[in-house]
Each structure stands twice: as structure tokens, then as C-alpha cells.
Chain A
Amino acid sequence: MKQPFSEEILSAYIDDELPAQERAAVERWIEESPEAREKLDGFRRLSGLFADLPRNEVPPEFPTNVLQLAERRMLLPEARPVQARQSLRRWALAGGSSIAAALVLGLMLQAYLPDGAPHQKAVRFDDGERPAGGPEVAVRSRALSEGETQDLAPAVASNKLSSLRGALPTYEQGAGPAAPTPAEDKLDRDSPESGIGRSAGARGERSKSAESVAALAVISPDQRKQIDQAMDEIGKTPEDENVVAVVKFHVIDRAEGLVLLQDAFADSQILVESEQAGEEGRSEGKIAAKSAAPGAVGNEALYVVAEPEQLRAAIATILAREKFALGLEIGDPIEIAALDDISKKRVQQVDRELISNVAGNRPTAPEDAKRSADAQAASERQKRERAKSDGKPGLETAAPALAEKKSLSKAQAAGREPQKPAEPKQKDNARPDAELKTPVPADKEAIEAPASQARQTVVNLPPEAGNQRGRAGTPRKESPSQKSAHRNSQRAPIFTKELAERDKDGDNDERAPALMRVLIVVEESAK
């Protein structure tokens, strides 16, 4: 006997998606037909199976991660979208560390800046310049006059200030701003605006608070352009290991500036490398940076090798702090040969280690990443143990030790307990679920993640390099060292290219960007 209604109608019936008349007819059919009742029962039991499926929850920090990633995208519009599981790990390694750098540097600068810092202005992206539409997003601040400050809409200004509180936003459900950490609390003194989403109130009120909050700034379109140009210029530097690009920061206090720069890069996982290792090495680097008496002009510079994204984020963080960095300039590339012996040795040490890492340990595809990271971690452990038994820590130990220390200190600075080791997983197979149910904070990931490839070391600049003047974004005349570099590039080993060849399947997805080498010079300038 032909059925009066199809199964599809029956399916729609249990979903309550039939018009009243049809529904009534179907109900009559169900009453009369055992077969219809059986089919209906089958559909209902099927629905019951879905009801039994477990519901997962995202980690509590998910909203904060989303907001931070969104703001980072606004800051770095060219940053590639998050791709699959790369995102979590790479976020912790590069992106997360950049955010951490911004956060830590922000806090450091807040502490560093004197009381009564100038008023701020939160700068709005012009419509045509906003990277990808969406809401106004404040990424940094810069010190401006009170009059300028008052030009802003309160809501926007509030957002700027709140975003800048820790350089990037955090989110706590239902509570508006997150509870301040001790460090944040210090920053919040006298300020009624202590968190994301807190209304600024009247303009006058906001201006008053602006007086008491240390210098906060946004990256202006001009600054972003300046960074783009700087990155382009760095990218144009001949691919020759004997030549290195030069970026100059003009600062108010050179000695302090160099230390802050060093920390900013270190917090971006651009790890400090020096002849001394570990804690000592880092201290030595900072002492070197501080050795120039305030007001004096020293000749130390930072040799930095990092991924472009790390560099960009760190430069943006630094440049945005107008109280600290007055400007950015591209200098002429210099030859490594022009450095003194100690500096050359340090540069070569960094280069050697990076090449060695790339050749030996660097993962070439996401599926190999964990295995390689484990191998690298084991290798680092062995080195540490070997160095410990020798009573003299090896140079290679500085980076992971520093990374671990910094991660811990960041956690401490944020008022949190250092992360305890993760609970052993019941089964390896249960990894993704377990990770989500027991979320691992970014700091924890940073501790467990393989050490960043990026490095920095303090070098002494040749006297003439400090006097070479360039201009951000303008083509440089080819200097003798560049000419030499062009010649050398034909025969010298090109390790930036070597580093770039990691995208084995050519889909441009899992490729880590090539490392950039740059000498960061800090010059003292009158404000």
C-alpha cells in the first residue's frame, strides 16, 4: 500500500516544521499506521543519540585570545590567517610571544616612565586606512597634547586606553575589565579607566585620567607605513651573511633605550645570545647596554636575527612608545667584517647556531613539528646537562634557559603563580581533548615550546656606522659596503634563502618565514 506521506515529511514532522494542516494530516496517519509509528520512533531514537553526545567547552581564555588575535590582525593586517593547528603552537611561539612582548614592554615602559607623563591621544584609524574594516581598535598609544586628546570620542578613547592597559586586551566574562594584576594595579593608580569596556565618561574626566596614566599610544598610519618601509628596506639588504641591515631608533636616553630594546626583542622570543650563557649571559648583555652612562653616546648595538613578523611586532611595540622611541631610520648596511673581534665572534656564533638548527632540528612540516620539537628539547637538555657537568654553561643553553625564566617571570609579573607542570596525559591519543579540558596558558606553552630560532646579541658598532644617516623608506645610495655585499652575494653562503626553503609541498602554508638579520642601533636624540 502506498504511503500517504514520505519519510521526509515524517522527518520534518518531528522537527515541528510542517504547516498546521499538513501536521494534522500526518498525525492522523501516524495514529492509523504502525509502520509510520515505527519510522517515527526510529527518528526519535536517532535524535536521542545526539542528545547523548558530550558537549565540550572552550578554554576560559578563549575570548581573550580572540580579542588579542583580532587586534594583532589589525596591527599586522598582512599577517596570515590562523591555519588549523598551526595556530595554537605558532601563536605561542611567534604571535603569542609578540603579544607577550607588547604586554611586558608596555608594563615595563609604564613603570619606566616618570610620573606626570604627558597627556595622550588615542589615534583613530582613518576609514581608508583601517586594515580590515571592523571596529576601531587601539593598538598602542603615544604622547600628545591635552588639546589633541580632547578631540576623541569618549568611547573610542576608552577603548584605546583599555586596549593599551596591557598593550592588548583581556576579557573576563561579565566583569568588564579583568581584575588588575599587581603590575596593572600600579598602572591604574589614579585612573578611573582601568579596563576594557569601561566607559570613559565625559571628556574632561577622560582627560584627567589621561594625565595620570603613563604614556599610551596607538600606531598611527604614518608609523605603520614607516615600519612597512623599514621592513622593505631590511628585506632589500643583500642576502649575504657578511652584510647586515641597520635600523636606528632615536631615543631620549640611549642607555635605557638599549636595555628596553633588548628586553622587547627578548620578549618576542628573540633570545639573547652572548658569550656568557643563561642568566649570566643575559645580565652581561644588559650590563653592556647599560655601560654607557646616561647621556653618553656608546657604540653598542643589537644584532638581531628573527622572523619578519617578530621583528615587525617588536619594532611596532617600540616605535609606538613615543616617550621612548622618537623615530625610526634605516641606516646603510654594514659588513660584519667591520665589527670588532668580539662582536664578529658573537654574530658568527648566532649565525652558526641558526644554520645548525635549520639543518638539523628545524621542522619542515606541521606533522613533523612535535617530533622535531621533542628532539630539539632533548638536545637542549643534553647541552644544559653537559654544560652543567663542565661547570661552565654552554652558549646554546642561554636561550632556552632565558625563555623559561622569562616565561616564568612574565607569569609572576602578571601576578600569577608560575605554571605547574601539566598533568600526565592518560593516553596520548586523548591529547586534543585533554588540552582543551585542561587549557594550557600561553606562558605554559612558551615554557614547553621549542626554543625560538630568533636570537639577539650585543655587538659594538664600528664608529663610522653610527654616523651614517639614512631615512626610513627612502632608497639608499649604494655604499661601498653594499657594493662589496653585492659582489660577495654571488659567492657567499646565503642563509636567508636556505632558511626559507621549508615549504616542502609548496602550498605556502606550513612554511615558516625566512629569518631577517638586522643590526639595531640606538641613537640619542633631543626630543
Chain B
Amino acid sequence: MSKPDQELIAECLSGQTHAFGDLVARYQNRLFNTLVGVLGSVEDAHDVAQEAFVNAFQKLDTFRGHSAFYSWLFRIALNSAVSQKRKQRAVVSIDAAREQSGDEPIDRHPAARPEHALETNERQIAVRAALAELAEEFRTALILKEMEDLSYEEISEIVGCPIGTVRSRIHRARAELRVKLQGLLREPCDS
């Protein structure tokens, strides 16, 4: 049976570095996939995830256990992601979406907007591209909800804002996505 996070943290703080490896293995893919969604780039997500784990390792003695280790880790990762994006002035683009699918880019011509992207890969590309166009705070909140199924409270801990703000951000993200992906949703635009 796997050990609880707190036990692994205690072991790590007592000098058993390998325990941190268990924590990394436990959360690496969740963190990585969330970061892919937030950053829009597999490579950047890998780097930021790695950096986040290293930072978490170095700051582990400051972790008080008031929140879940996972929330704490995600907060570190998102801070790293934000600072990296600022530094790189990275633009999450459809190219990044293509990187993740390994497929050819969809045509940027208006006639080939997401509403025409019906194949699975194209649908994924369209979703990634639409996500990339969202404001960062909306995108982050929605990804933490939809991909990680975190509660509003957990998301508020991670992004550092009130629960009401999280609810609002998630709704606004959905509303925007609904417009951008109306072709995929086969739903008339009502706003």
C-alpha cells in the first residue's frame, strides 16, 4: 500500500531522498498534463514540471501541511509557469497544439475554423487552440477543473484567489470556449 504524502514528506525531510522520488512519481503525470494545458507546449510543460519538483524539494521544509501537497506543488508549478511565460513572452499557439497531437496544423483560413474540424485529432487541436486563446487565469481554472477534477476550494488554494472568483473564472472560460467551439458543440451561439 502506498504511503500517504505526509509520510513521504517526513521521510524526505529526515534525509531519505528516495521518498521524494515517490512523490514525484505519484504526481508527475498529473502535473505534467495540467501544465501542458496551461502552457500549451509539451516541452515547456516538461521543463516547468521538473523545475517545480526541484523547487518543491528545496522548499519542502517550509511545507506546513495546511493544504494538500498536490495543491502546494501545483501552486509552485503555476508560479514557475507564469514567470516562464513572462520571460519567454510565449504565445500558446495552434502550433503548440499541433506539437501535442503530432498532426498537421489546421488551416487558419476562416473557412477552416474549429467548426469544420470534425476528426478526433482536429477536434483535439481545436480544443487546444481555443484554450490557448483564453486568458491565462480562465484557462488555468478551467483546466484544473476539467482535467484534474479539483474542487473550487482546491483550485482557489492553488491559484490563490477566493472560491467565488474561481467559480466566475470557470464559467467565463466555459462561455468563451462555447463560442469558440460552437461548431464542435453543434450549439447555436446565444450570446
User: In this complex, which of B14, B17, B32, B44 has the most chain A Cβ atoms within 10 angstroms of its Cβ?
Assistant: B17
Any chain A CB within 8 A of the CB of B102? yes
Q: Are B50 and A171 in contact (CB under 8 A)?
A: no
Q: Are A64 and B21 in contact (CB under 8 A)?
A: yes
Any chain B CB within 8 A of the CB of A319? no
Minimum CB–CB distance from A157 to chain B (whole Å) comes to 8
Q: Which of B41, B145, B187 contacts A432 (CB 8 A)?
A: B41
Which of chain B's residues have a CB closer than 8 A to the CB of A67? 17-18, 20-21, 24, 57
In the complex, A162 Cα to B101 Cα: how many Å?
40
Which of chain B's residues have a CB closer than 8 A to the CB of A83? 47, 84, 87
Any chain B CB within 8 A of the CB of A427? yes
Which of chain B's residues have a CB closer than 8 A to the CB of A63? 21, 24-25, 28
Q: Are A434 and B61 in contact (CB under 8 A)?
A: no
Within 8 A of A (CB), among B140-167: 145-147, 151-152, 167
Within 8 A of A (CB), among B159-188: 167-168, 170-171, 174-175, 177-178, 181, 184-185, 187
Q: Are B15 and A156 in contact (CB under 8 A)?
A: yes
Q: Which of A54, A65, A132, A157 contacts B50 (CB 8 A)?
A: A65
Any chain A CB within 8 A of the CB of B36? yes
Any chain B CB within 8 A of the CB of A158? yes
Q: A46-B174, A46-B185, A85-B43 are in contact. Are A52 and B124 (CB under 8 A)?
A: yes
Q: Are A56 and B20 in contact (CB under 8 A)?
A: no
Any chain B CB within 8 A of the CB of A326? no
Within 8 A of B (CB), among A105-133: 132-133
When each residue 84-104 of chain B gets 1 if its CB lies under 8 Å from chain A and 0 otherwise, what string results?
Answer: 100110000001001111111
Q: Are A162 and B124 in contact (CB under 8 A)?
A: no
Which of chain B's residues have a CB closer than 8 A to the CB of A156? 14-15
Any chain A CB within 8 A of the CB of B46? yes
Q: Are A431 and B99 in contact (CB under 8 A)?
A: yes
When each residue 61-84 of chain A gets 1 if its CB lies under 8 Å from chain B and 0 otherwise, what string results?
Answer: 011111101110110000001111
Whose C-beta in chain B lies nearest to the C-beta of A62?
A: B28
When each residue 39-67 of chain B gets 1 if its CB lies under 8 Å from chain A and 0 otherwise, what string results?
Answer: 00111101101110111011111100000
Interface magnitude class on chain A: 35 or more
Report whether over half of chain A's contact residues are helix, strand or loop; otherwise say mixed.
Answer: helix
Stretch of A11-19, A285-293, A394-402, A486-494 on the interface side: A11-19
Q: Which of A73, A155, A196, A507 contacts B14 (CB 8 A)?
A: A155
Q: A17-B152, A82-B51, A169-B21 are in contact. Are A159 and B16 (CB under 8 A)?
A: yes
Q: Are A46 and B61 in contact (CB under 8 A)?
A: no
Within 8 A of B (CB), among A245-260: none
Q: Are B19 and A433 in contact (CB under 8 A)?
A: no
Q: Are A84 and B44 in contact (CB under 8 A)?
A: yes
Any chain B CB within 8 A of the CB of A24? no
Q: Are B58 and A8 in contact (CB under 8 A)?
A: no
Minimum CB–CB distance from B19 to chain A (whole Å) comes to 6
Q: Which of A46, A47, A169, A432 contacts B17 (CB 8 A)?
A: A169
Q: A8-B167, A52-B123 are in contact. Are A45 and B24 (CB under 8 A)?
A: no
Any chain B CB within 8 A of the CB of A441? no
Q: Are A12 and B167 in contact (CB under 8 A)?
A: yes
Q: Are B57 and A134 in contact (CB under 8 A)?
A: yes
Which of chain A's residues have a CB closer than 8 A to the CB of B25? 63, 171, 173-174
Within 8 A of B (CB), among A1-47: 7-8, 11-12, 15, 17, 38-39, 41-43, 45-47
Any chain A CB within 8 A of the CB of B127? yes
Minimum CB–CB distance from B57 to chain A (whole Å) comes to 4
Minimum CB–CB distance from B153 to chain A (whole Å) comes to 9
Any chain B CB within 8 A of the CB of A222? no
Q: Are B29 and A58 in contact (CB under 8 A)?
A: yes
In the complex, A173 Cα to B21 Cα: how many Å?
7
Q: Are B60 and A430 in contact (CB under 8 A)?
A: no
Q: Are B57 and A56 in contact (CB under 8 A)?
A: no
Which of chain B's residues have a CB closer than 8 A to the CB of A64? 21
Which of chain B's residues have a CB closer than 8 A to the CB of A163? 17
Q: Are A56 and B33 in contact (CB under 8 A)?
A: yes
Minimum CB–CB distance from A438 to chain B (whole Å) comes to 12
In the complex, A431 Cα to B61 Cα: how many Å?
38
Q: Are B151 and A17 in contact (CB under 8 A)?
A: yes
Q: Which of B29, B49, B61, B103 contacts A135 (CB 8 A)?
A: B61
Whose C-beta in chain B lies nearest to the C-beta of A507?
A: B87
Q: Which of A49, A57, A136, A432 contacts B43 (CB 8 A)?
A: A432
Report the 6 A-B pairs with minimum CB-CB distance, sorted nearest first: A197-B18, A171-B21, A430-B102, A196-B18, A159-B15, A50-B146
Name B residues whose Cβ lies closer than 8 Å to a Cβ of A: 11-22, 24-25, 28-29, 32-33, 36-37, 41-44, 46-47, 49-51, 53-55, 57-62, 84, 87-88, 95, 98-105, 120, 123-124, 127-128, 145-147, 151-152, 167-168, 170-171, 174-175, 177-178, 181, 184-185, 187, 190
What are 5 A-B contacts defined by CB distance under 8 Å?
A: A56-B42, A84-B87, A160-B15, A195-B18, A507-B87
